Amino acid sequence: MRKKYIIGNWKMNKTNSEAKELIALFKEELSGSLNENIQVVVCPPYTSLDMANSLLDNTNIKLGAQNVHYAPNGAYTGEISISMLKDLGVEFCIVGHSERRAMFVETDKLVNLKVQEILKNKLKPVICVGETLEEREYGKYKEVVKTQIEQALKNIDSLCAQSCVIAYEPVWAIGTGKNATVEQAQEMCEFIRYVISQIYEIQVSQKVSILYGGSVNINNSKDIMSAPDIDGALIGGASLKSEFIDIVKTQI
């Protein structure tokens, strides 16, 4: 059985003191009740990673970052390296989020370099893929996502591929309140698994965790996460409040 992941992407929200309050609440409400079939991950801004690492020490809630630079160190003003993240107890790192692709020119090539750097350092990349509304309406959505997956996994061997987490996040569903239907999300997660099976083999594709993200909330999370190829959720807005706890509790 594949592990289920519920990952909170806080984006550019919460000061350190606000983050401290929320992490403390997650810890109090969740850390005693999680089992090995479910992995909860929180991805606060860089500025709260150190605090979150101390608070979450000795709990089964893990820490993720929202981005990383692909170089190990050097003259990259304003950037953060994987060793800096590792040093703060980070175990997961989101890559290729559609906001970064759209606003910060994160290309497929850059996504691949970041995935390689993350895996080289034994962290887990959470690779985001997904089509725009226009691409869906033109019937190009599978082609777009296939290319994103193939490019992200370029030069990644099958063992490393198994430790990647993929998040199917249709751009039109992110932060819009308009989630994909369970059928749409399942169709795409199944398709992504097929694409991975074509790059490697079926056994590898069966081991990769594929999540859905895009306006997940307490009303739709249970149905979405019960689909056979959907192994959890990447959650933005609802991860900034106690609703995140309620969503996790539907899975334990």
Using CB under 6 A, list all residues that contact ligand PEP: 9, 169, 174-175, 213-216, 234-238
* Torsion 104-123-35-180 (CA) sign: positive
Structure tokens at 239: 């991860």
Tell me whether residue 110 or residue 213 sits nearer to ligand PEP (CB atom): 213
Task: Report the nearest approach of ligand PEP to the CB of residue 210 (Å).
Answer: 14
> Where does residue 174 rank: exposed (0-12), middle (13-18), buried (19+ CB within 10 A)?
buried
Tell me whether residue 118 or residue 216 sits nearer to ligand PEP (CB atom): 216
CA atoms of 128 and 114, how far apart (whole Å): 12
Catalytic member of 69, 97, 117, 135:
97
Task: Report the nearest approach of ligand PEP to the CB of residue 182 (Å).
Answer: 16
Among residues 195, 189, 187, which one has the least CA distance to residue 233?
189
Task: Report the nearest approach of ligand PEP to the CB of residue 166 (Å).
Answer: 13
Task: Encode burial over 10-27: b for 16+ CB neighbours within 10 A, e otherwise.
Answer: bbeebeeeebbebbeebb
Catalytic member of 99, 106, 117, 169:
169
Tell me whether residue 38 or residue 94 sits nearer to ligand PEP (CB atom): 94
Tell me whether residue 1 or residue 103 sits nearer to ligand PEP (CB atom): 103
Could you tell me which residues come within 8 angstroms of residue 89 by beta carbon, excluding any fewer than 6 positions away?
A: 49, 53, 56, 57, 63
169 is a catalytic site residue: yes
Task: Report the nearest approach of ligand PEP to the CB of residue 203 (Å).
Answer: 29
230: left (phi over 0), alpha (psi -120 to 50) or beta: beta
CB closest to ligand PEP, residue no: 236
Among residues 234, 237, 51, which one has the least CA distance to residue 125?
234
137 is a catalytic site residue: no
Task: Report the nearest approach of ligand PEP to the CB of residue 206 (Å).
Answer: 25
Note whether 164 and 124 are within 8 A (CB): yes
Report strand pairing: 4-9 vs 232-235.
parallel
Residues annotated as catalytic are 97, 169
